[in-house]
Amino acid sequence: MQYNAVENTGMVALHGKGVAKGIAIGRALVMGAALLEVNHHLVSAEDIEYECHRLEHALQTVAEDLDYIKNNLPDDAPIELAPLLTVHSLLVADPLLASETKNIIRVRRYNAEWAISTQGQMLSDQFAQMEDEYLRERASDVNQVIERVLSVLSGVKSFDIQNLPTHNEDDLPYVVVAHDISPADMLKLREKHFAAFITDAGGPTSHTAIVARSMNVPAVVGMKNVRSMVNDHELLIVDGEAGLVLINPSPLVVEQYRSKQRQQEAEREFILRHKDEPAITLDGIAIDIEANIESPEEAKMAIEMGAAGIGLYRSEFLFMNRDSLPSEEEQYEAYSSVLKIMGDKPVTIRTLDIGSDKTLNNEATVAVNPALGLRAVRYCLANPDMFMTQLRAMLRASAHGYLRILVPMISHLHEVTEVKRYLLQARQELVAEGYSIGEKIELGAMVEIPAIAIAIEPFLKELDFVSIGTNDLIQYTLAVDRVDDEVVNLYDAVHPAVIRLIHNTIQAGDRAGKMVCVCGEMAGDVDYTRLLLGLGLKSFSMHPQHIPDVKQIVRHSHTNTLKTKVAATLNYGEAINLNMVNAAV
């Protein structure tokens, strides 16, 4: 987080990661964090079993509370909340959490609060070391579950949501300031008069960010120590697009932002009225705008936001936070439910994408460099029984719609050959067993390793389509971890090397007559929409909430003009000038 004191005004400007757009003006409501204030002390030998009993009671209480919340969600609750609450329920019910924490109590003689926070930190650290950003963000789920357990153990709620007044004395809404916010607490906050979220922790794929986008609530996360910078009831302005928080703004600044707020709300209403219209450019080029989802429930949101299909269905959620692998039947039910919802629209399911730093049965492993280790397709090919189960479930589900199978982290052509061999074997087995297989099945690969982007032509001969994962492509091309604060300034989506790799892939796809999609964050960021159109992209996939905005940009863009602008910029050998590209229509 960066902060600046504005001279002569008393206003302080804080900068974090804007993850849900919009402007909010309200009074700060600062949430406590039990995890940060846990009482540490050693217990006597005779009190060890009592502490274990306290732990068991707290875990059971939290489990029951989460189940009650999940089973009593209001009809208009954000559709992401149920699967997010399920993740928390699975975490708190994990027998390893109880057994390992009890072991700490018995061996180290820590009190229950100290023991659960110690075990929670170990689990959180394991997730935080994962290469995949979505899985890495799950460290926040561990912390949120531990927070709930600590609240029960201590008998003190970190934040008494139920007794919040419905409004401030000056009728301004609340801006919630917290270390992090659990999905269960977000549901309760939703019932109150609040306007935005600001958190110390989190990133673009954290649950706070996901739910905030679903609820259309401005949010700025990853601010590190914002709770220590803001006092209860201080006046705040939150700009979720710029990632900006203003503390104690002057009346003039408040009025400027109120005007901007009214303008944004009017624009948003207009965009949403046209969300179901096709995305066709001014020069008549049809653009496919599809959705990225993480659970079957999100497919409904994709339809509501006007998606032309599912461009990326991450299958990881079925595998995580459990002691056993999901069965073929469980996977079939999940995949087929999405295909049924989408009807004749394409559904792209990505095969399991997991890193080598933690296996699926919760047995930690040691990798010298997890980012370059046994990940994604490498992991699947090294575990053929697991891979075959997933492929069988996908092929069975294909009977209900238009299936695309997407394989992550392909770097060698023989990996494509191996995947095809397993697919053929799975198909033959299923046919012999009497199952129906869909007629429309396509096989594609993620372009996220520079090697495949550079030598794309032979891959396109063997594949039906490719999907560019810009998040990893940028990281691998520039050797920069974008969540590492010390080098994040080097993470550059418009670096010439990155743009050339994207351009090369799109051009090769056009020559081969194969679809090229971009499903990374660039696809859903309107700042890059015209750049990607200028590079020749005709297929985007993004979070459902971003679809109406990207469609609006597409409908007001002229691709030939953009191609000329982008081509001229590519010749400079420097970073793309986005302002110049976005000025062209």
Question: How much of the chain, in percent, has pLDDT values that exceed 90?
Answer: 45
Smallest CA-to-CA distance from 172 within 32, 23, 24, 12 is with 24
What is the tens place of the pLDDT at every residue in 121-180? 888 777 766 666 666 666 767 877 888 888 888 776 555 555 555 555 677 888 888 877
- Of 49-63, 189-203, 360-374, the poorest mean pLDDT is in 360-374
pLDDT of residue 193: 62
- Annotation marks residue 517 as catalytic: no
Q: Does 286 or 266 have the greater pLDDT score?
A: 286
Question: What is the spatial order of strands in the sheet that 2-5 belongs to?
Answer: 2-5, 12-15, 244-247, 235-239, 23-30, 174-178, 194-199, 219-221, 17-20
pLDDT of residue 576: 78
What is the tens place of the pLDDT at every residue in 306-347? 999 999 999 987 886 667 889 999 999 999 999 999 999 999
pLDDT of residue 89: 83
pLDDT of residue 563: 92
pLDDT of residue 133: 62
CA angle 475, 310, 292 (to 5 degrees): 40
Question: Which whole number is the average pLDDT over 379-408?
Answer: 96
pLDDT reading at 575 higher than 80: no
Average pLDDT for the chain: 84
Cα separation, 291 vs 436, whole angstroms: 27
- Check if the beta carbon of residue 127 is closer than 8 Å to that of residue 320: no
Q: Does 107 or 488 have the greater pLDDT score?
A: 107
What is the tens place of the pLDDT at every residue in 188-201? 666 566 788 888 87
pLDDT reading at 4 higher than 70: no
Q: Which amino acid is at 204?
A: P
Question: How much of the chain, in percent, has pLDDT values that exceed 70?
Answer: 82
What's the pLDDT band for 71 if we cut at 50, 70, 90? confident
pLDDT of residue 359: 47
Question: Which whole number is the average pLDDT over 557-583?
Answer: 82
- Check if the beta carbon of residue 270 is closer than 8 Å to that of residue 326: no
pLDDT of residue 3: 52
pLDDT of residue 405: 98
**Four-point Cα dihedral 14, 19, 20, 24, nearest 10:** -10
What is the tens place of the pLDDT at every residue in 31-57? 765 444 567 888 899 999 999 999 999
Q: Of the listed 519, 543, 546, 558, which one is catalytic?
A: 519
pLDDT of residue 38: 66
Cα separation, 184 vs 144, whole angstroms: 10
pLDDT of residue 81: 65
First CA to last CA distance, the chain? 35
Residue with tokens 């959705």: 291
pLDDT of residue 363: 47
- Annotation marks residue 503 as catalytic: no
* Residue 101 dihedral angles phi and psi, to the nearest 5°: -70, -40
Cα separation, 559 vs 302, whole angstroms: 26
Cβ-proximal residues to 59 (8 Å cutoff; 6+ apart), any chain: 92, 93, 97, 98, 149
What's the pLDDT band for 358 if we cut at 50, 70, 90? very low
pLDDT of residue 357: 42
Cα separation, 145 vs 267, whole angstroms: 38
Q: Which pTM value belongs to this model?
A: 0.69
What is the tens place of the pLDDT at every residue in 217-269? 898 988 887 877 888 889 999 999 889 999 999 999 999 999 999 998 888 88
Q: Please tell me what DSSP assigns to residue 45.
A: G
What's the pLDDT band for 80 if we cut at 50, 70, 90? low
Q: Of the listed 52, 88, 179, 207, which one is catalytic?
A: 207
What's the pLDDT band for 120 if we cut at 50, 70, 90? confident
What is the tens place of the pLDDT at every residue in 428-473? 999 999 999 998 899 999 999 999 999 999 999 999 999 999 988 9
pLDDT reading at 577 higher than 50: yes
Cβ-proximal residues to 583 (8 Å cutoff; 6+ apart), any chain: none
